[in-house]
């Protein structure tokens, strides 16, 4: 049996590893569009900041590690078309040579492409690009281009268009390199995946570290600045107060991604939410012997059903399921809760499950309650407050969502995992208090912070009727 996987990041490599793990007789070939298989794209900001000294260290596994599992890597090889009836994949290598690769099972893990918003200078007859200092950021190639701009031009000013996870992490990275950073967000608050109450706390953290934050502001154009301008690029924007101009040596445009589903769609695969490839819980597409996984496919969400929610953790899990089933298994993807966490300077924001408006949209009767508690006993030095928001169903008491904001040493990531595990197993908010969690004064409290928050939700939900 020959399994071919397209994509050398999370889903494709996970599929290949799982198939070889289950059956060493399975022949596995992975098509990698560049020369950087199994690299942590999530780690790019920490290489840019200098916290990760060598770009090679971003690799989860080296090429030698991967090949030692028995898989064959085809680097700099782009998939061009799928012959579904003939079970063949058309590919082109770096030299332009075309080839047809026969497969018994195919896993499509083509991932995403960055959204390129309609900004003058990003598209048209004379678009600006990396050599001009304007960057999208999604691949190792993009990363090297950013580093060339930083190192070759003695960049002093940066404008970041977008204030989602990558935008926030890159703001911190560029501040660490000594740049003056302006962050421009079209929406009313940064980090719009959490409630504004927590987004505002992230906003404050940016400002405290010198980032100029511009909200409700839409970038309309990027152009080369005049020779005497304080920066080689001019960024034009519109806000409620009128037109603005910002100068920069480097501009990052990180406003989101979209699924790269064109290869599968051209072969006749059905598409779903947001134009992602439709798959079932076993990661099967509507094409025979073609599976798909990762950021290019729809996501089974345990509370929302079929949606689109690209996350690295989800891609790893889906890829593992696809690889197992390609090798003859019957495993199902258990589903996502959209659990996410981001560090912004000294603070951390995290979420899992649903926010109030998301719960309403799928028929729950949500109640969201905020609370604050110490991350460990206040009498032990170094305690910090954790700001929490719990969302539960008014009628059943079921925990639907949790959001946290606190200090980087406050175990925010692990505490949001308590919420993720509770929601995964359909627990009520009240049952969170029953969990047997660890306690020591330097590390927590007899009632952990999230349990204290759960108890406040129960009291206020009962009081509200």
Q: Looking up tokens 């719960």, which residue turns up?
A: 359
Rounded to the nearest angstrom, the gap between the alpha carbon of residue 318 and the centroid of all alpha carbons in its chain is 15
Cα–Cα dist 297/259, whole Å: 7
pLDDT tens-digit series, residues 157-169:
999 999 999 999 9
Binning pLDDT at 50, 70 and 90, where does residue 465 land?
A: low
Give rounded-to-5 percent helix, strand, coil for the chain. Answer: 30, 30, 40
What is the C-alpha separation between 142 and 13, in angstroms, rounded? 21
In which band, very low, low, confident or very high, does the pLDDT at 154 lie, cut at 50, 70 and 90?
Answer: confident
pLDDT value for 126: 81
Average pLDDT over residues 250-256: 96
Is the predicted pLDDT of residue 325 greater than 70, yes or no?
Answer: yes
Radius of gyration for the alpha carbons in the chain, expressed in angstroms and rounded: 24
Query: Per mean pLDDT, which range of 151-160, 247-256, 385-394 is the poorest?
Result: 151-160
Nearest Cα neighbor of 340 from 79, 165, 141 is: 165
Residue 303 has, within 13 A of its CA and on its CB side, a CA count of 31
Of the CA atoms within 13 Å of residue 283, those in its CB half-sphere come to: 36
Q: Do domains 130-253 and 348-464 have the same CATH topology?
A: no
Residue of higher predicted confidence among 367 and 124: 367
Q: Are 179 and 203 in contact (CB under 8 A)?
A: no
Predicted local confidence at residue 248, as pLDDT: 96
Q: Phi first, then psi: give them for residue 41, nearest 5 degrees.
A: -65, -30
The model's pTM is: 0.94
CA 408 centroid distance within chain: 19
Cβ atoms of 309 and 301 closer than 8 Å: yes
Distances (CA, A) of 208 to 56, 91, 182, 235: 32, 50, 13, 24
Structure tokens, 62: 């080296």
Q: For 234-299, give the DSSP string.
A: EEEEEETTEEEEEEESEEEE---EEE--HHHHHTT--B-GGGPBP--TT-B-SSTTEEE-STTB-E
CATH for 130-253? Answer: 3.50.50.60
- Residue of 437, 439, 443, 405 whose CA lies nearest to 421: 437
| The pLDDT of residue 123 | 82
2-112+257-326 CATH: 3.50.50.60
Residue 116 is predicted with a pLDDT of 92
pLDDT for 289? 98
Which CATH number is associated with domain 348-464? Answer: 3.30.390.30
Give the side-chain half-sphere CA count within 13 A for 121.
24
Band (pLDDT 50/70/90 cuts) for residue 153 is confident
3-state secondary structure of 363: coil
Q: Could you say which of 1, 22, 42, 63 is catalytic? A: 42
pLDDT tens sequence across 422-432: 999 999 999 99
User: Nearest 5°: phi and psi at 263?
Assistant: -60, -50
**Rounded CA separation 298/259 (Å):** 9
Query: Which one has a higher pLDDT value, 127 or 422?
Result: 422
pLDDT, tens digit, 9 for 90 and up, residues 31-44: 999 999 999 999 99
Largest CA distance in the chain: 70
303 with 402: CB under 8 angstroms? no
Instruction: List, for residues 366-406, the tens digit of each pLDDT value.
Output: 999 999 999 999 999 999 999 999 999 999 999 999 999 99
- Contacts of residue 393, defined as CB under 8 A and 6 or more positions apart, other chains included, come to 359, 364, 365, 366, 367, 400
SS3 3: strand
Per-residue pLDDT tens digits for 70-117: 999 999 999 999 999 999 999 999 999 999 999 999 999 999 999 999
Rounded Cα gap, residues 146 and 179, in angstroms: 13
Mean pLDDT, range 273-296, rounded to an integer: 98
Cα angle 178-60-321, degrees, rounded to a multiple of 5? 130
* CA angle, 414 then 300 then 114, to 5°: 80
Q: How many angstroms separate the CA atoms of 143 and 127, rounded?
A: 19
pLDDT of residue 461: 86
In the chain, what percentage of residues exceed pLDDT 70?
Answer: 100
* Per-domain boundaries in the chain: 2-112+257-326, 130-253, 348-464
Looking at every residue in the chain, the average pLDDT score rounds to 96
Residue 454 has pLDDT above 90, yes or no: yes
Q: Is 296 a residue of the active site?
A: no
């Amino acid at each position: 049996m020959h399994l071919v996987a397209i994509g050398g990041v999370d889903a494709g490599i996970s599929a290949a590893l799982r198939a070889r793990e289950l059956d060493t007789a399975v022949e596995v070939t992975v098509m990698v569009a560049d020369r950087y298989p199994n690299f942590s794209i999530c780690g790019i900001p920490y290489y840019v900041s200098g916290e990760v000294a060598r770009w090679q260290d971003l690799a989860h596994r080296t090429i030698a590690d991967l090949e030692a599992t028995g898989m064959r890597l085809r680097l700099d090889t782009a998939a061009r078309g799928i012959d579904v009836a003939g079970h063949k994949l058309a590919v082109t290598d770096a030299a332009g040579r075309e080839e047809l690769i026969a497969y018994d099972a195919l896993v499509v893990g083509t991932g995403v492409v960055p959204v390129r918003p309609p900004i003058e200078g990003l598209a048209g007859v004379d678009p600006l690009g990396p050599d001009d200092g304007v960057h999208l950021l999604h691949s190792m190639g993009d990363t090297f281009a950013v580093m060339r701009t930083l190192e070759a031009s003695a960049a002093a000013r940066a404008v970041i268009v977008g204030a989602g996870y990558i935008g926030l992490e890159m703001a911190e990275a560029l501040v660490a390199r000594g740049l003056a950073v302006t962050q421009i967000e079209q929406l009313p608050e940064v980090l719009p995946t959490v409630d504004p109450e927590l987004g505002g706390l992230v906003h404050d953290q940016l400002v405290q570290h010198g980032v100029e934050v511009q909200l409700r502001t839409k970038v309309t154009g990027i152009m080369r600045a005049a020779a005497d301008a304080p920066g080689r690029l001019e960024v034009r924007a519109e806000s409620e107060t009128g037109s603005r101009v910002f100068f920069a040596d480097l501009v990052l445009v990180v406003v989101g991604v979209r699924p790269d589903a064109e290869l599968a769609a051209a072969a006749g695969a059905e598409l779903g939410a947001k134009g992602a490839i439709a798959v079932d819980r076993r990661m099967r597409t509507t094409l025979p012997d073609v599976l798909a996984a990762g950021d290019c496919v729809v996501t089974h969400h345990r509370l929302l059903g079929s949606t689109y929610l690209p996350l690295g953790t989800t891609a790893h899990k889906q890829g593992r399921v696809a690889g197992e089933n390609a090798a003859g298994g019957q495993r199902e993807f258990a589903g996502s809760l959209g659990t996410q966490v981001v560090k912004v300077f000294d603070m951390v924001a995290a979420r899992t499950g649903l926010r109030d408006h998301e719960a309403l949209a799928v028929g729950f009767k949500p109640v969201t309650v905020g609370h604050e508690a110490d991350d460990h006993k206040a009498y032990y030095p170094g305690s910090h407050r954790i700001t929490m928001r719990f969302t539960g169903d008014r009628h059943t008491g079921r925990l639907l969502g949790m959001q946290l904001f606190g200090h980087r040493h406050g175990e925010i990531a692990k505490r949001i995992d308590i919420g993720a595990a509770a929601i995964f197993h359909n627990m009520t908010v009240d049952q969170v208090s029953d969990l047997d969690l660890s306690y020591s004064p330097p590390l927590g409290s007899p009632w952990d912070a999230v349990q204290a928050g759960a108890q406040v939700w129960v009291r206020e939900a009962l009081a509200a009727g």
